[in-house]
Structure formats: structure tokens, C-alpha cells
Amino acid sequence: MSTNTVSATVPSPTGEEIPWNKKQVPPAKIVGTIIGYLAMIAVSAFVLLPFFWMFLSSLKPNNEVYAIPIKWFPSVWHWENYVAIWTKSDMTTWLLNTIFFAVIVTLLQVFTGSFAAYGFSKIPFRGRTTLFLIYIATMAVPWQAYMIPQFKLVSAVGLSDTRWSIILLQAFGAFGVFMMKQFYDTIPEDLSEAGRLDGLSEFGIYWRIMLPLSGPSLAALAIITFTNTWNDYMGPLIYLRSQKLYTIQLGLKLFISQYNADFAMIMTGSVLSVLPILIVFLIGQKQFIAGIATSGMKG
Amino acid sequence: MSEEIGVVDDRQAVADHKTGSHGPGGGRRAPKIKQGKFNAKAISRRNLRNGLIFISPNFIGFICLTLLPTLTLFYIAFTKWSAFGNPVLNGVKNWVRLSHDKIFMTSVWNTIYYSIVHIPLTLVLAFALAVLLNSKLRGRAFFRTVAFFPYITSIVAAAQVWGMLFDPKSGPINSFLRLFISNPPGWLGSTAWAMPAVIVVGTWREVGYYMILLLAGLQTIPSELYEAAELDGTNGWQRFWHVTVPMMRPTLFFVMVTLTIGSFKILDLTLVMTDGGPGTSTLVLAQYIYRVAFERGDFGYASTVSLVLLAICMVVTLVQFWYNNLKED
Amino acid sequence: MTMNVKTVTKALAVTTAGIMLLAGCGGGGSSKQASSGSDGFDSKAKTTITFAGWSLDMTPEFKTLADAFHKAHPNVTVNVKQYSADDYDKQLTADISSGAQPDVFPIKNMLKYVTYSDSQGLADISDIAKSYQGNKYINLDGYEHNGKYFALPYRSDTWVLFYNKDMFKKAGVEEPNAKWTWDDYAKAAKELKEKLPAAGYDANSVYPMYMHNWQSVVQSFALAQCGKSADSTFLKADFSYMEPFYKRALEWQKDKYTIDWNTSFTNKVQYQAQFGTQKAAMMPMGTWYAATLVSQQQSGEAQKFSWGMAPAPQNPDKKLPKTPITFGSPTSLAISSKSSGQKLAAAKEFVKWATGQGGALELAKLSTTPAYIDDKVTETFFSPEGMASDQASKDAWSKHDMKMEAPVATATDTINSILKDTHSSIMTGAKSPSDGLKEATQNVKDQGVLDE
């Protein structure tokens, strides 16, 4: 993708739809737009390829999945995989559990993250730089390195193999705080200052001014947290033993290992595990746009 | 714990306060007190209280679940520990071992190699896509979804497809390359080409993710700024450098730091695609830590290596911090 | 936000303060060893013990053992808990580290036996081991650790040569026998390569053999058959004994007798499919594959053909041994050191039964290879329909000199993990066998695990 494309498309948000603003479109812009479309189409195809393969494989007879050379389309379409996986496994339980975890974790992460981010971004309290650095530092440590000490800590208070363990594990990450702080930093100080002059408390400024302004970033944080919680395998693997608590990733992996060479089934599971995130993502997309509307800024 | 930190950092807060007008975050002035008496101490105390109230819901959870276990690494790194029983202190033995460990050196080098190529590549592509999608192109909603696909597609499926695409004999990539060169690379089976292949897949997977973050930042730039700049007779390129980039600085900083840390911590991709091979050609630091801990049951030494990873990430992050502040001042 | 050196120093200071707080927080593992031995088993007391297993629907051995034991001892209920098949060791590590392990749990392979034995999470079960003293039907070599036994084998898969009788017959090549060396194996492969296409097999996709991409396929055969003890080779980081084995393996893939390692690895080729769909006429593999093959032939996932097991080919550079030498990796049962009283007594009774003839017969019925093998067990194992039933297969299955896949020692984990990289770099041709093995020696020495 050339940088020309970028520069040519930047000015377009200036609102060509407004009739009195209409002017001659320069040819460079047209070329830029065409390149933009071509780039989008090329990248889409490239990006979707593995997903297509995953989907097509889920419908193949098992021995065609890993055929060499690669075979794209099944010789017989096995739609029944999608029925079988529901009847053979506890898919419904796993889905419900995962939705529960993902929703709670996302709510907690978005709320506590944006709340703390406000503190870090807008209140100059003693020690905030140090604290903030510590937050970032922990992001640099791979979870596998401190997994066992953490597990011992959680077990010591009797929370392993409970719903709490997964919620606690995911909800207080440094990521959300860092992300929201950086977004708050872009919001001009004058806005919160104006709020203070109007007699708003700090909480009032957060609630009335900051939150409505941060729609797109909150949506991004929510989408990412939801996706990460949804796709987490190692956390549930280490913390959960009761089958009634299984999440979709853990359940699928265990289910699949029972049919250790049933690759079509593995792909069926993978496709099903992706679909709910897509739905969340599409809803989140709308939020992007809604966020802009409430903030009164036109993207 | 948090109180203690507050005390330790007393002077810093004052310094923050004095020079506070530079950065967007530091620009907050003391709240106006209507009674008139300006008391620096009272304000500082009040800020501390308010600050702690805001951060505590997250911070308490963070201390218990992330900070405490992470801090134990600083102790475990000086012990011999198999995850069972109590760690046994063994002084600097792990560190001496680290200094002779060629596999460790290789994994540091591989990690740097991955990061140095992956970070700029991902950043440029993600930014370009975000700018593109922030425009009024038709079908952008569809494309936004598509670009995020790789991030949610199962990594096993992704690795499988890429493995086939990269297949040296029958893969489409080499079939294509053969049109131009007679002897295309062996990709995942070659020590020289496995890492480039991993980088391609890593970039493919993460571009959409960072694009979403950057897009969220772009969405918050008021369009009035562009309009004003356009009235000044600037062209698109100038607007990009003088409006978009400065306004995006906090977001870019965030993306840079997470992208850097994420690249240095890369694990799942090599685990599934190459398992570090052939030989140790794609063995990265995080995977080495994972191996030492889980394959060899040597959690003491794994913690030692983790601290090195932490140190590398911190140095790079601090440089970014410093550069970011320099730009803001 | 401003940032300076002082801030960093402070961040470090706070960190240090945190460590002081945590100095007492690092441990916490169990160190109390439940006293064992004194509690007698009371068959009338109602007791429930927990037992770890994986892939419960497809690996019926756990439930079968639990139910059969309950039938024999109606007052003891064995509760099977589901674990992950692939990540069992991670879950068990977490469990033992926090003292939450089940009463009875399998130790999946011997690589981790010493680590677990030293964890203080395993009860000393030397008394059960003593009851097997002098018993020729079960082999407890390698289980004694510091004079004690912490686990006992209940399954013991060994490596044999699976071969497709139909393919040999159609091609007119003589079937493998107990006197085969790896050279004979290669010779047969050459003959098959020439004759299979004429017998109607696709020359492009059907190979004479399939060598799976695991390191044990080369390395463990080399260790078992090199004729030297692991103490003077493997555990001294001297890997030169593998060189001839690697040279042969590389030659076979060069001659296209097998799918090459790189294709097998990056395309995640399944050995079950290679042999089960008649894409390979011979395949060295563990005896667990027999059960898979029988059930896949029944379900139609594998094609129907007649097959057999022959002893693993032997080292051509050594005198042919009386009993064929092969390797295996037994799966064992251990008891939690946290169990006490009637739970401990019942757990011991269960382990004693499961590792003995009682458990072995139940396992053999499932086509699972038990560690305890007498004539009755052999007969049971070979009785199901679809199982190879010729005498040669029976002998290959039951008569062998089994060495451990890797030596049972503290350094094994580390050495094996380094050898894994060596395997991929030699098999992809990135390094010559001698360079790769020399590098492995150096890498192992650098880890400083040898002198411990």
C-alpha cells in the first residue's frame, strides 16, 4: 500500500456530501480512491483466505482436510458436522459460560480501566508516574512466567475452579488502563476545566464529559477484551476442572482431543467459536459510529 | 502499598505539577477553591485522594492478581524451583548459567530480529489502513470487519493454511515465485527463511487489531482541525503530518508500546507454526521461557530469563517514553 | 507526563519493597508428607477417591478401571476427573504446586517422573512395589528413586513395526520378521518402492514406509539399540551414538521411501492417516496404535486391510540380540501425598489392583497395552475382531527387551528439549548429523544440568 493512497484519502472527511461544499474533484483524488479500493479488495482476499479454508475444511470428509497438495473444495459436503458438534458435545453450556465470562470481564475491564485511566490522565496525584510505569512493566512479563505463583495465590483463597477465578484473572489487566489513559490524553484539558468551573465533581467530569467523548475507544477496548476473553485457552485450562464451568475454547480443545484425528470436526468447532465474536464485532462497529455522533465530532 | 508509593514519589508529583502544562495529561491545573486560600498541600492531598479513588477499583485487582505474582519472579529468579515446594535460593547461579547459554542468546537475537521487522511493518500497514478506513470509502464497514478477521481466526487454522501456502514444493507462494526465480526459498523448512515467514504471518494477524486501535484514535480528532488546516491552504500530505500525527501522538504511543511488548512476547505463533525450528531458528524468548518452565520444569531459571525479557521491554518502553515526552515538550 | 531517571529508580525501589513482602509468599507448597503404610484398608468403610483421566469418551481406560474396581470393592467409589490430554502436565503441575491433586493420578510418561517424585506431592508406595518383587510379568526398572517408589506402571506401550500385509503380498515382498535390522528394513523399502506401483498403488502418494516426525523415532531407537548405557552417553551429553541412525533416516527421506520430515511437520501429517489409508506399507509406532487402527477400521476412517506387528528392526552395527530391543514409555499411577486415612488405603488398593493382573485384563479388553503382561493378558488382548492375530504379532507385542524412551534422571527434561531442536535441524538438512549432535553436546553442557 503506497503512502500516496493515504494522503489522497485523508482530506475526504471534509464533508463532500454537503451540497454547497461541492467542488471539482481533482484527478489525483480519483486515482487515489481507485487505488484505495483495489488495495481494499486485494487485502480482503488475502486476509480471508485462511478463514475460507477453515470454513471449507469443516465441510470436508476427514481425510481431505490435510490432503497434499491442498484441496480447496470438499468432494462431498458434510453439513452434518454442524449438527453433530451440538449433539456430541456440551456446546450450549460452553457457549453460555463463555458469554457470561466475556460479558462480565468486558464490563469490569471497561469500567475499572476507564475509571483508573481518568485518575492517571487527569488527576496529577503524587506517584502516578511511578504507578503507571509499574502497570506497563507488568505487561512485559509473559503470563506463563508467573502463572504458577498466581495460581497458588488464587488457590490459597479457595477461588480456583470457580467462576471467580476466570473473572479475576482477566478483568484487571493493565492493558485497558493504559489504552484508555492514552485516549483521555488526547481529550483537551479545557473540556474538563470547563466542567470544573461548572461545579462538577471529578466523578461528574468523568461521567458527564469523558465517557461520552470516548465512545470509539471504549468500543475498541470492549471488542478487544471480549475477543481476548473469548479466545483464552490457557487461563481456563489451568484454573477450571469442573466440566460445568468449561469455556468454549477449553471445551472445544478437550472435545477435539477425544476425536484426535477428526480435523473436519476441529474446523467446525473453530468456525463456531469465531461466529459469536463476529456478532459482537459488528455491534461494536455500530458503537464506533454512535460514539462519534454523541461526541459531536464528525469523523 | 499504594500509600507507600505515594510517599516515595512525593517530589515527583510536585515536579509534575510545576511542569505540568506541557503534556496533555499534565496540563491539569489545581482545582479552583472558591474560599480563596490557595494551599498546595491541601490540593496535593486532595489530588492524591481523588487519584486513588479513581484507580483503586482496578488497582486492587491488579495488585493481587498481576503485580504480586510478577514480583515473586524477582525472588524466584535467584532460586532453584520446580514449581513444587519452596524455591531454594541458589544465589547468582542462574545468572551465571544465563551468561553461557547459547540457546538463550539465540532466542534473544531471534526476538530482536522478529521485532525489528515486525514492528515497523505492522505499524505502517495498520496506520495506512486506519487512515484509509477513516475516509468515506464505500464498503469500509465491511472492510473493517474483514481486517479484524485474522485476529479472531483460530491460530491453529491460520498456521495450517499458511503452512500450505508456504509449502516449498506445492505451495502457491513458491509456484508464484517460480515465475521469476528458479530457486525459491524453503520457507518453514529453512533456517534462513522460517523467520521471514513467521513475520509475514504475525503481521497478517495483527494488522487488523492495531488498525482498530488507531481507528479509534482517528475518530476522536475533531474535523474542525482539518477544516482549519484546509483553509490555510495545506495539502493532504501536510495535513497528515501536521494535524493527524500530532493529534494521534498519545494513541500512537500506546500502539507503539503495546506493539513492542507484544512483539517481544510473541509466543503462540511460533509455538504452532514452527515450534521454534528448524533447529533454533525461530525460537523466541517467550517460547524459551515456556520451554524451560514447562518442558524442563525449571521455573527458577525460567524466571531468570523472564526478568531479562522484562528488562529488554522496559528499556525499549522507557526510550519510547522519553521520546514521546521530548516530542510533547 | 514527565519521566526521569529518579522515577525509574523509584519504580525499582518499590519493586524491591514488594519482594521483601513476598519473600514468604513464594512457597506455600505442601511439605507435609502424609504418613503411609500404617493405615490398613477397611473394605467395609464407604470411601470415595478421585482419579485423574483425559479424553474420557474416547479413552475408556479410566472409567473402565474405576468401574471394575468399584465392582470388586463396592464400598469404594472411584470418581474420574477430566483433564486435558494435550496439556495434562500443565494442569497437574498447577494442581501439585497448590496441593490440589486428585487422590490417584497417572504420570503420562517417564520424562517427568523424577520431577514429580521430588515434588513432595506424591506418596511413597514402595510397599506396593515390594509385592511385585521377583514378578516376571511386570518390569519396574527405572522406578526406584532415592530408594523409594513413587509410581507404578499400569500401561506400557512399546514400539513395534506395523506393516500392511496386503501391500506386501500384492507387491510380492517378503514380510518383516524378528531378525530384521534397519538395513533389511531399508532393503524391503527399496523393493516396495519398485514394486508397489505395478501392484496398483499410486506412485506419487504411496510410500514404502512412514517415519513420523517425533524425535523419539530416531533418537530413542538409537539410545535403546546403541549397546551403551545412557549414563555414559545421553547423560554425559555424548550423542555420537545417534549419528548412524540419523544418516539412515536422512537417506530414506532422500530416496523418497517416506514423506520427508519437513512436509510431515509443517503439514501436520497424521501417522494414523498415512498407515490407515494405505499410504505407507510399514511404520514404526507404539503399540497404542493397534487399538486406534482396530477402531478406525471399524468406523471406516481407516481402510480395511490386513496388518501385522513385527518387532522393531535392530541395529545392523551390533550383534543381533536374543530378544529384540525396543523402547517404550510406560504410563504410571501415583498417589497424592495429601491423601490420608481410608482414602489413602483405598487409593493404594486401587493402584495395586490396576497395576496388577486385575487391571491388566480390563485394559487388554480395551486393546490397551498394560504393563502387566502374562499369557492370559496376551490372549485377551488379541481376542477382539480386527486385531492382528498371528503368532508373530503376538510375540512382537509381548516379547521384547524394553528400554526407556529417555533415561529416568533429573537432567532428562532439559537434554530432551535441546535434542528436539537438534532433531529438526538435522532432519531439515540445516545441519549435518555430526555438526548438529556436536552442537547439542555443547548446548547441554552450557545448561549446567549435567553435574547435578
A vs B, Cβ pairs < 8 A, gives 387
Domain containing residue C135: 10-156+330-390
Q: Which residue has the higher pLDDT, C207 or B240?
A: C207
Residue B187 lies in a domain: yes
Task: Classify C178 as helix, strand or coil.
Answer: coil
For chain B, the average pLDDT equals: 81
From CA A237, how far away is CA A226, in angstroms rounded?
18
User: Is the distance from CB of B221 to CB of B247 less than 8 angstroms?
Assistant: yes
C47: closest CA among C36, C55, C39? C39
CATH superfamily of A82-295: MetI-like (1.10.3720.10)
In this complex, the chains that touch B, judged by 3 or more CB pairs closer than 8 A, are A, C
Q: What residues 41-70 of chain B have any CB closer than 8 A to a CB of chain A? A: 44, 47-62, 64-70
Whether the predicted pLDDT of B6 surpasses 60: no
* pLDDT tens sequence across B167-223: 887 777 888 888 888 888 888 888 889 999 999 999 998 998 898 888 888 877 777
> Residue B237: pLDDT band by 50, 70, 90 thresholds?
confident
The reply to whether residue C98 touches residue A147, judged by beta carbons under 8 angstroms, is no
Sign of the CA dihedral with A139 first, then A141, A144, and A148 last: negative
Minimal CA separation from C318 to chain A, in Å: 38
Minimal CA separation from B207 to chain C, in Å: 24
Q: Which of A130, A148, A261 sits opposite C11 (nearest CB)?
A: A130
The torsion of the CA quartet A229, A235, A237, A243, rounded to 10 degrees, works out to: -60
CA angle C224, C359, C148 (to 5 degrees): 60
Verdict on whether the full-model pTM lies above 0.95? no
Minimal CA separation from A146 to chain C, in Å: 11
The reply to whether residue A261 touches residue C301, judged by beta carbons under 8 angstroms, is yes
From CA A264, how far away is CA A53, in angstroms rounded?
11
Search chain B and give the residue with CA nearest C15: B71
The reply to whether residue B297 touches residue C413, judged by beta carbons under 8 angstroms, is yes
Residue B178 lies in a domain: yes
Q: Which of A148, A151, A287 to mutate to test the interface with B (most CBs of B within 10 A)?
A: A148
Minimal CA separation from A62 to chain C, in Å: 8
- Which chain B residues are within 8 Å of C97, Cβ to Cβ? 83-84
- Which chain B residues are within 8 Å of A270, Cβ to Cβ? 153-154, 156-157
Q: Which long-range contacts (CB under 8 A, 24 or more apart) does C63-70 make?
A: C64/C362, C64/C363, C64/C365, C64/C366, C65/C154, C65/C354, C65/C359, C65/C362, C65/C363, C68/C358, C68/C359, C68/C362, C69/C350, C69/C353, C69/C354, C69/C358, C69/C359
In this complex, the chains that touch A, judged by 3 or more CB pairs closer than 8 A, are B, C
Residue B321 lies in a domain: yes
Whether the predicted pLDDT of B259 surpasses 60: yes
Same domain for C91 and C196, yes or no, is: no
The reply to whether residue B86 touches residue C413, judged by beta carbons under 8 angstroms, is no
User: pLDDT at position B9, please?
Assistant: 36
Q: Which residue has the higher pLDDT, C197 or A188?
A: C197
Q: Which residue has the higher pLDDT, A260 or B99?
A: B99
Residue B45 lies in a domain: no
Residue C79 lies in a domain: yes
User: pLDDT at position A14, please?
Assistant: 43
The reply to whether residue B278 touches residue C25, judged by beta carbons under 8 angstroms, is no
Whether the predicted pLDDT of A10 surpasses 80: no
Phi, psi (degrees; rounded to nearest 5) at C319 = -65, 140
- Which chain A residues are within 8 Å of B7, Cβ to Cβ? 126-127
Domain containing residue B118: 102-328
Same domain for C106 and C236, yes or no, is: no
Query: For residues B292-309, b (16+ Cβ closer than 10 Å) or e, as one string?
Result: bbbbbbbbbbbbbbbbbb
User: Is the distance from CB of A56 to CB of A264 less than 8 angstroms?
Assistant: no
Q: Which three cell numbers stand for residue B249?
A: 501522538
Q: Which of C28, C57, C268 sits opposite A66 (nearest CB)?
A: C268
Q: Is B310 on the interface with A (CB under 8 A)?
A: yes
- Pairing type for strands C401-404 and B88-89 reads unpaired
Q: Quote the number of domains for chain B.
A: 1
Spell out the per-residue pLDDT of chain C, length 452, in tens.
Answer: 444 555 555 554 544 444 444 433 333 333 333 333 445 777 778 899 999 998 887 778 899 999 999 999 999 999 999 888 888 988 999 899 888 899 999 998 888 898 899 888 999 999 999 999 888 899 888 899 989 999 999 999 999 999 999 999 999 999 999 999 999 999 999 999 999 999 999 888 899 999 999 999 999 999 999 988 888 899 999 999 999 999 999 999 999 999 999 888 877 778 888 898 899 999 999 999 998 898 888 888 788 999 999 999 999 999 999 999 999 989 999 999 999 889 999 999 999 999 999 999 999 998 899 999 999 999 999 998 888 888 899 999 988 899 999 898 888 888 998 999 999 999 998 899 999 999 999 999 888 777 64
Same domain for C303 and C379, yes or no, is: no
Place of cell 533415561: C407
For chain A, the structural domain boundaries read: 2-57, 82-295
> Residue B38: pLDDT band by 50, 70, 90 thresholds?
low
* Percent of chain B at pLDDT exceeding 70: 87
Residue C440 lies in a domain: yes
From CA C320, how far away is CA C313, in angstroms rounded?
10
Task: Classify B66 as helix, strand or coil.
Answer: helix
What mean pLDDT is predicted for residues A261-269?
Answer: 74
Search chain C and give the residue with CA nearest A151: C94
* pLDDT tens sequence across A31-73: 877 887 887 788 788 788 878 878 888 888 776 766 655 677 8
Same domain for C313 and C350, yes or no, is: no
Output the CA–CA distances (angstroms, integers) from residue C103 to C28, C336, C363, in the order listed: 20, 5, 21
- Which chain C residues are within 8 Å of A155, Cβ to Cβ? 98-100
Minimal CA separation from A149 to chain C, in Å: 7
Whether the predicted pLDDT of A97 surpasses 90: yes
Minimal CA separation from B278 to chain C, in Å: 5
User: pLDDT at position A288, please?
Assistant: 62
Place of cell 514404526: C284
User: Is the distance from CB of B319 to CB of B253 less than 8 angstroms?
Assistant: no
Q: What residues 5-64 of chain A have any CB closer than 8 A to a CB of chain B? A: 5-17, 33, 36-37, 39-40, 43-44, 46-51, 53-54, 57
Q: Quote the number of domains for chain C.
A: 2
> Residue B14: pLDDT band by 50, 70, 90 thresholds?
very low
A258: closest CA among C197, C83, C112? C83
- Pairing type for strands C207-209 and C280-286 reads parallel
Q: Which residues of C touch A (CB under 8 A)?
A: 1-3, 7-8, 10-11, 14-15, 25-26, 28-29, 54-59, 81-87, 90-91, 93-94, 97-100, 205, 263, 267-270, 272-273, 277, 301
Output the CA–CA distances (angstroms, integers) from residue B47 to B29, B50, B110, in the order listed: 11, 5, 45
Q: Which of A113, A125, A138 sits opposite B52 (nearest CB)?
A: A125
From CA B280, how far away is CA B262, in angstroms rounded?
20
Whether the predicted pLDDT of A166 surpasses 70: yes
The reply to whether residue C91 touches residue A241, judged by beta carbons under 8 angstroms, is yes
Q: At what angle do helices A174-186 and B249-264 cross, to 10 degrees?
A: 160
* pLDDT tens sequence across B277-315: 788 899 999 999 988 888 888 889 999 999 999 999 889
- Which chain C residues are within 8 Å of B9, Cβ to Cβ? 7, 10
Residue C452 lies in a domain: no
Same domain for C193 and C296, yes or no, is: yes
From CA A60, how far away is CA A73, in angstroms rounded?
8
Phi-psi region of A220 (alpha: psi -120 to 50; beta: other; left: phi over 0): alpha
Helix-strand-coil split of chain A, %, nearest 5 = 75, 0, 25
Q: Is B326 on the interface with A (CB under 8 A)?
A: no
User: pLDDT at position A141, please?
Assistant: 85
B vs C, Cβ pairs < 8 A, gives 165
From CA C26, how far away is CA B69, in angstroms rounded?
9
Residue C1 lies in a domain: no
User: pLDDT at position C192, please?
Assistant: 95
Q: Which of A68, A132, A241 sits opposite C81 (nearest CB)?
A: A241
What secondary structure does DSSP assign to C353-420, as a single string? HHHSHHHHHHHHHTT--BS---HHHHHHHH-STTS--SHHHHHHHH--EEEESS--STTHHHHHHHHH
Search chain C and give the residue with CA nearest A133: C11
User: pLDDT at position B224, please?
Assistant: 79
Q: Is A157 on the interface with C (CB under 8 A)?
A: no
* pLDDT tens sequence across B131-152: 888 877 777 777 888 888 888 7
Q: Which of B55, B123, B140, B272 to mutate to test the interface with A (most CBs of A within 10 A)?
A: B55
List, in order, residues 6 or more apart from C12 with CB less than 8 Å away. Answer: none
C4: closest CA among A140, B19, A176? B19
Search chain B and give the residue with CA nearest A249: B154
The reply to whether residue C55 touches residue A148, judged by beta carbons under 8 angstroms, is no
What mean pLDDT is predicted for residues A162-176?
Answer: 89
Whether the predicted pLDDT of A180 surpasses 70: yes
The reply to whether residue A40 touches residue B294, judged by beta carbons under 8 angstroms, is no
From CA A76, how far away is CA B307, in angstroms rounded?
53
